[in-house]
Amino acid sequence: MSWSSSNYLCLSSSSSVTQFSRCKLPCESEGQRGKCQDLNRATNISAYNSLKPPSFKLDKGQRRNDHVLKKPRNISAYYSLKPPPYKFDALEPYMSKRTLEVHWGEHHRGYVESLNKYLGKDDILYGYTLDELIRVTYNNGNPLPEYNVWNHDFFWESMQPGGGNLPILGLLEQIEKDFGSFSNFREEFIETALTLFGSGWVWLVLKRNEKRLAIATTTNAVTPLVWDDIPLLSLDMWEHSYYLDYKNDKARYVNVFMDHLVSWNAALARMARAQSFVNLGEPKIPVA
Amino acid sequence: MVMASVTTIASHLTSTFLYAPEFCRLSQSLHTSQRPCTRKSVSGTISANIDLKPPPYALDALEPHMSKETLEYHWGKHHRGYVNNLNKQIEGTELDKMSLESIILASHNKGDILPAFNNAAQVWNHEFFWESMKPGGGGKPSGELLELINRDFGSFEALIQEFKLAATTQFGSGWAWLVYDLEDKKLVVLKSSNAINPLVLGSYPLLTLDVWEHAYYLDFKNLRPDYISTFLDKLVSWDAVSSRLEAAKVSIEGK
């Protein structure tokens, strides 16, 4: 067995089939599994995407990352298809299981596969994390190649079963500070989503320079990362996202998202992390 | 269809009505075809007058290749929505009472698009799209169209390949087009995003395929390539393309 540099992915060629599986970390043996939680949540896993769909039974807080590889030995690092952090029927009746199956299983998977295929041809783009790759390929608004991978990962995590209601704690305060009130924010978000023409995304972002929250829209597969803003929430306004459940009734889709799907917990966690980079509070040190 | 020029904005009371027959479909009698066409303004009724033109076939006529449900939503909700929103936007403005093509060119504003553009262009695009299809379509073109295709693409199969490629690689929402370039006098395959159409790109459109997801999602879900193949094999109306080519040639000679 050899250890990859990330210390997480293991390549074993002990049998005739090269197995690409999760390594047994030292902290997992001897009954110390609890200490492994943070490592398990690495978000930039480079795993060769296999054609076998991952099983959907997830243990609490776990992600299933086993892939069986039946490909040639010269493995390179590519991007993997991450499943949503809930089962496919968990968002019923607001987002049907069928939508998740097609949206994640066909669209998202298709984007990952075509990205991997493209990377197979282009040496210059090797070695980037997904965040970096997005910035590098943005090309000032004409991204090449075009792929919607990061946005979809972010979108699944922006929703949760039993979502909706109101944000809490610091996020609510910040929303009230920057939009006046939560209902102002909600109205503005919905209106922005409904007036977006064509395929795109609506975001709640933390603007790095202005140090405030804002609602942003992007077309096709662009993400606010390219403007150095920090996204907190997203809503997929591509038609494939709502057509099976709502057909052309965008208004109902957007309202249902705000009322029943949006994960304020995720947004709060992201904002907390963002505050390591952006100081939202009053400066405590007086300027000389 | 003759492209109306932008200068007719100033004389919107008169000259725009000479052109597009689709502008005033309500008037049945000959002598009213040149007068402004307004519905009586009852309170609450919009008097701007872009019409929702139905496809030239019944909504179930394209089964099983394009389902009745798709037509009901695509024409009945999306296309209708664009028409209604456009009428709301242009009412009482200088764009009101202009022909659809004039509205498109005016609101395109050389790329710095005005709010009415998206709706106006989508109305035009969808009308053009319905007329690009017919029950029992597909097959091969013939006559002058086939000659030009062979001349400009090498073969009919090469055109199909290029059209399929354009339609498949249009990322996000948009359209794939076969156009006649009036400058170079040749056929070209184009793709455009969202609502852009060849009228604002300076070419004469001959054929279009809607690759917005709403056009194929109910029938094909994410399988856009299958939708494109079905369109080319079973739905495309080469007759319509031929007659548009004729009109394109006439419009060149007329200049």
Query: For residue range B155-207, what is the model confidence (pLDDT) as tens digits?
Result: 999 999 999 999 999 999 999 999 999 888 999 999 999 999 999 988 999 99
Interface test with B, best of A139, A196, A243 (most B CBs within 10 A): A243
| CB pair distance less than 8 Å for B171 and A220 | yes
What pLDDT is attached to residue A282?
62
What pLDDT is attached to residue A124?
74
* Mean local confidence (pLDDT), A76-80: 70
User: Looking at the predicted structure, is the pLDDT value of residue B6 above 90?
Assistant: no
The whole-chain average pLDDT of chain A stands at: 78
Low-confidence winner among A6-20, A77-91, A227-241, B51-65 (lowest mean pLDDT): A6-20
Confirm whether B52 is domain-assigned: no
What pLDDT is attached to residue B133?
96
User: Looking at the predicted structure, is the pLDDT value of residue A36 above 50?
Assistant: no
pLDDT band at residue A105 under the 50/70/90 scheme: very high
pLDDT higher for B99 or B11? B99
Q: Provide the residue range defining the domain that includes B77.
A: 68-254
CA distance B86 to B102: 13
Of A199, A243, A248, the CB nearest to B172: A199
What pLDDT is attached to residue A56?
59
What pLDDT is attached to residue B27?
37
Number of Cβ pairs < 8 A linking chain A and chain B: 51
pLDDT band at residue A239 under the 50/70/90 scheme: very high
Give the pair of three-digit tokens for residue A282: 């009053």
Count the domains in chain B: 1
Closest to A218 measured CA to CA, from A160, A151, A135: A151
Of A110, A197, A240, the CB nearest to B213: A240
CA distance B173 to A180: 35
Confirm whether B14 is domain-assigned: no
| CB pair distance less than 8 Å for B214 and A199 | no
pLDDT tens, A122-168? 667 777 788 888 888 887 777 777 778 899 999 999 999 999 989 98
Confirm whether B84 is domain-assigned: yes
pLDDT band at residue A201 under the 50/70/90 scheme: very high
Q: Which residues of B are annotated as a binding site?
A: 74, 126, 210, 214
pLDDT band at residue A58 under the 50/70/90 scheme: low
Examine the predicted complex and report whether its ipTM is higher than 0.85.
no
Q: Which residues of B are annotated as a binding site for Mn(2+)?
A: 74, 126, 210, 214
pLDDT band at residue A30 under the 50/70/90 scheme: very low
What pLDDT is attached to residue B254?
66
Phi-psi region of A244 (alpha: psi -120 to 50; beta: other; left: phi over 0): alpha
Confirm whether B6 is domain-assigned: no
Interface test with A, best of B222, B224, B227 (most A CBs within 10 A): B222
Query: 3-state class of A84 per DSSP?
Result: coil
What pLDDT is attached to residue B42?
43
User: Looking at the predicted structure, is the pLDDT value of residue B58 above 70?
Assistant: yes
Chain B residues inside the 8 Å CB shell of A238: 172, 213
* Mean local confidence (pLDDT), A204-220: 93
Chain B residues inside the 8 Å CB shell of A240: 213, 217, 221-222
* Mean local confidence (pLDDT), B84-104: 91
| CB pair distance less than 8 Å for B217 and A248 | no
User: Which of B8-47 are b and which e, b meaning 16 or more Cβ less than 10 Å from the residue's Cβ?
Assistant: bbeebeeebbebbeebbeeeeeeeeeeeebeeeeeeeeee
Low-confidence winner among A250-254, A271-275, B236-240 (lowest mean pLDDT): A271-275
Any residues with CB less than 8 A from the CB of A185 and at least 6 apart, and which?
Answer: A175, A178, A179, A215
Q: Where are the alpha helices (DSSP H) in chain A?
A: 37-40, 97-102, 109-119, 130-137, 149-157, 169-179, 182-195, 243-246, 250-256, 264-274
User: Looking at the predicted structure, is the pLDDT value of residue A23 above 70?
Assistant: no
pTM, full prediction? 0.75
Confirm whether B168 is domain-assigned: yes
Name the most confidently modeled range: A41-55, B8-22, B160-174: B160-174
Shortest Cα distance, chain B CAs vs residue A114, angstroms: 12
Sign of dihedral through CA atoms A106, A109, A115, A117?
negative
Shortest Cα distance, chain A CAs vs residue B165, angstroms: 15
CA distance A241 to B173: 13
DSSP A140-189: GG--SS---HHHHHHHHHTB-TT--S---HHHHHHHHHHHSSHHHHHHHH
Tell how far CA A94 is from the center of its chain.
Answer: 20
Q: Tell me, what CATH number does B96's domain have?
A: 3.55.40.20
pLDDT band at residue A59 under the 50/70/90 scheme: low
Shortest Cα distance, chain A CAs vs residue B220, angstroms: 11
Query: 3-state class of B8 per DSSP?
Result: helix
Closest to A257 measured CA to CA, from A168, A208, A192, A180: A192
What pLDDT is attached to residue A276?
83
Shortest Cα distance, chain A CAs vs residue B134, angstroms: 24
Chain B residues with CB-CB distance to A under 8 A? 73, 77-78, 81, 118, 171-174, 193-195, 212-214, 217-218, 221-222
pLDDT band at residue A54 under the 50/70/90 scheme: low
User: Looking at the predicted structure, is the pLDDT value of residue A71 above 60?
Assistant: no
Confirm whether B45 is domain-assigned: no
Confirm whether B123 is domain-assigned: yes
Confirm whether B54 is domain-assigned: no
What pLDDT is attached to residue A279?
79
CA distance B165 to B122: 22
Of B73, B171, B222, the CB nearest to A240: B222
Percentage of the residues of chain A whose pLDDT score is greater than 70: 69
Percentage of the residues of chain A whose pLDDT score is greater than 90: 48
